[in-house]
């Protein structure tokens, strides 16, 4: 049974999120926002592929006119899909862009470096959104919770839920109900547990806002699709989730068939046409992933393809047969060819086991978002890469063509020091 939440209306031809409505499918542009033509072309392709909501990064105040121009151009073409501004590190940008988009996504962990100032600026944002009819997504990321929360609760699923609840309470106190919440993690176990704890907290306090669900930085290919299905399907089976995004390190149009499949499977939306192999893969992930995450089984039957068994077991974090890759999908902040870098890192490091490697698009968000990684590979821009061990930079300004081999050398040296192969 679906969790009954508040109903949120987004856009002038409104898309309804929550309140028992069907699951809404969304995605995010990976173009630079000042490339208005390129972003428009990508938005059109997304809408043709079934996107019902599109998120676009707004790195700073200079990009507010760009996203306005993009939204205005789409409306002039009769494309009414809601446009969501994605904000990090700039409360003022969130406040200004709220006047020209349909929804603003903010990250409490980096809304303002001072926690008290963050709360004050968020109250300002609420009033601008109320005035302009703009919805808010409070988007918590496991890797960027902020010191205030991690000092209290550590880097845990409970910390994600507690971080969200602080901002939920501010919305309730202000009687502002146009709010959607998300708790994203690349770790399916942490992601599912965080959402469960958040739902319980909201229910105890009497206001349940709609939930946007997804596995962040899931990577690409089969692994990214399977990991996304394992995490998202577990929540949707439990009635948790009103809107979904499948986050892949690919052309964002490729996310939409998987997201539409999930919406169809769990809320009766039309099922997209998928290749037979992909449909079988998604079916297996949605059948066995939730059982593994809920500990209803410890193994997948032998009649399931061995490759799929291995992938699903790894996505559920039960057994690892290859390196675990965390990779962001890219956005307007991305500083290099992320998809190429991801492929190169995978090719060079596939020999290692029991290791988590993050390939991140920018120096702005990358280091914070790879909380679960043993090693990080982060684009700096200007043809250079930073390499991290855990959350500590060990090499900076490495030329892109040298960086994959330098990463491998560091991993080998570290494993030798630890007596590992």
Q: Which two structure tokens, joined as six digits, stand for 200?
A: 């319980």
The fraction of the chain above a pLDDT of 70, given in percent, is 98
Helix (H/G/I), strand (E/B), else coil: 400: coil
Mark whether 353 and 268 lie in a shared domain. no
Domain at 328, CATH number: 3.30.413.10
**DSSP code at position 108:** G
Which residues share a beta bridge with 389?
A: 375, 392
Q: Which of 247, 275, 293 is the last residue of a domain?
A: 293
Q: Which of 247, 272, 293 is the last residue of a domain?
A: 293
Q: Which two structure tokens, joined as six digits, stand for 144?
A: 């960027």
- Is 238 a member of any domain? yes
Residue-averaged pLDDT of the chain: 92
- For residue 296, count CB atoms less than 10 angstroms from its CB and return exposed for 0-12, middle for 13-18, buried for 19 or more: exposed
Give every CB contact of residue 130 below 8 A, 6+ residues apart in sequence: 174, 176, 178
pLDDT for res 269: 82
The total domain count for the chain is 2
Mark whether 288 and 351 lie in a shared domain. no
Residues 238 and 34: their CA atoms lie apart, in Å, by 40
Task: Give me the DSSP letters along 241-285.
Answer: -SEE----SS-GGGHHHHHHHHHHHHH-PPPPP--HHHHHHHHHH
Task: Give me the DSSP letters along 174-224.
Answer: TT---EEEEEE-SSHHHHHHHHHHHHHHHHHHT----BEE--TTB-SHHHH
- Is 180 a member of any domain? yes
Q: How many residues does the chain have?
A: 421
Mark whether 348 and 282 lie in a shared domain. no
pLDDT for res 421: 62
Residues 352 and 415: their CA atoms lie apart, in Å, by 10
Mark whether 350 and 262 lie in a shared domain. no
- Is 298 a member of any domain? no
- Is 154 a member of any domain? yes
Low-confidence ranges of the chain (pLDDT < 70): 363-369, 421
- Is 331 a member of any domain? yes
pLDDT for res 112: 80
Mark whether 143 and 245 lie in a shared domain. yes
Distances (CA, A) of 189 to 185, 273, 314, 318, 351: 9, 30, 11, 10, 25
Helices (H), 86-187: 91-97, 115-132, 147-153, 157-173
- Is 307 a member of any domain? no
- Is 311 a member of any domain? no
Which residues share a beta bridge with 15?
A: 10
Give every CB contact of residue 357 below 8 A, 6+ residues apart in sequence: 323, 324, 325, 326, 345, 349, 373, 374, 375, 376, 377, 407
| Per-residue pLDDT reduced to its tens digit, 83-141 | 999 998 889 999 999 999 999 999 887 788 888 888 999 999 999 999 999 999 999 88
pLDDT for res 22: 94
- Is 315 a member of any domain? no
- Name the helix (H) or strand (E) containing 392: strand 392-399
Mark whether 146 and 277 lie in a shared domain. yes
The sign of the CA dihedral 212, 213, 217, 220 is negative
| Per-residue pLDDT reduced to its tens digit, 333-346 | 787 888 899 999 99
Mark whether 282 and 348 lie in a shared domain. no
Mark whether 272 and 381 lie in a shared domain. no
pLDDT for res 155: 82
Mark whether 223 and 342 lie in a shared domain. no
Domain at 163, CATH number: 3.20.20.20
Residues 402 and 393: their CA atoms lie apart, in Å, by 16
pLDDT for res 368: 65
Give every CB contact of residue 7 below 8 A, 6+ residues apart in sequence: 16, 17, 18, 19, 20, 21, 210
Q: What pTM, to 2 d.p., does this model score?
A: 0.94
Domain with 42 in it: 7-293
Mark whether 263 and 201 lie in a shared domain. yes
Mark whether 277 and 373 lie in a shared domain. no
Residues 144 and 291: their CA atoms lie apart, in Å, by 29
- Name the helix (H) or strand (E) containing 308: helix 306-315
The sign of the CA dihedral 102, 105, 108, 110 is negative
Tell me if 250 sits within 8 A of 220, measured CB to CB: yes
Mark whether 264 and 396 lie in a shared domain. no
């Amino acid at each position: 049974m679906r969790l009954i939440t508040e109903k949120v209306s987004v856009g002038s031809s409104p898309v309804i999120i929550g309140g028992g409505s069907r699951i809404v499918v969304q995605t995010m542009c990976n173009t630079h926002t000042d490339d208005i033509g390129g972003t428009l072309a990508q938005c059109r392709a997304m809408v043709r592929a079934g996107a019902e909501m599109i998120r676009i990064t707004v790195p700073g105040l200079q990009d507010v006119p760009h996203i306005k121009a993009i939204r205005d151009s789409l409306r002039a073409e009769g494309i009414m899909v809601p446009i969501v501004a994605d904000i990090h590190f700039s409360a003022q940008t969130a406040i200004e862009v709220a006047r020209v988009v349909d929804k603003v996504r903010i990250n409490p962990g980096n809304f303002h470096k001072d926690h008290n100032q963050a709360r004050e600026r968020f109250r300002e944002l609420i009033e601008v959104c109320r005035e302009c009819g703009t919805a808010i997504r409070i988007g918590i990321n496991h890797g960027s919770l902020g010191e205030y929360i991690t000092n209290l609760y550590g880097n845990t699923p409970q910390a994600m839920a507690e971080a969200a609840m602080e901002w939920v309470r501010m919305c309730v106190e202000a009687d502002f109900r146009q709010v959607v919440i998300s708790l994203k993690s690349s770790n399916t176990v942490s992601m599912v547990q965080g959402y469960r704890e958040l739902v319980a907290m909201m229910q105890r306090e009497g206001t349940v806002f709609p939930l946007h669900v997804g596995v962040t930085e899931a990577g690409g290919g089969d692994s990214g699709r399977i990991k996304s299905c394992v995490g998202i399907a577990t929540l949707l089976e439990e009635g948790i989730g009103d809107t979904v995004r499948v986050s892949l390190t690919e052309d964002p149009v490729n996310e939409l068939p998987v997201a539409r499949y999930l919406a169809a499977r769990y809320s009766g939306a039309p099922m997209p046409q998928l290749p037979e192999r992909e449909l079988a893969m998604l079916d297996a992930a949605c059948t066995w992933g939730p059982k593994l995450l809920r500990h209803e089984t410890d193994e997948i039957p032998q009649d399931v393809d061995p490759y799929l068994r291995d992938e699903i077991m790894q996505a559920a974090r039960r057994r690892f047969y290859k390196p675990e890759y965390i990779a962001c999908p890219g956005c307007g902040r991305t500083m290099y060819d992320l998809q190429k870098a991801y492929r190169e890192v995978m090719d060079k490091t596939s020999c290692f086991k029991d290791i988590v490697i993050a390939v991140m698009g920018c120096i702005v968000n990358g280091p914070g978002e790879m909380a679960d990684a043993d090693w990080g590979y982060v684009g700096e821009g200007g043809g250079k890469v930073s390499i991290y061990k855990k959350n500590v930079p060990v090499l900076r300004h490495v030329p892109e063509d040298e960086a994959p081999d330098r990463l491998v050398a560091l991993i080998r040296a570290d494993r030798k020091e630890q007596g590992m192969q």
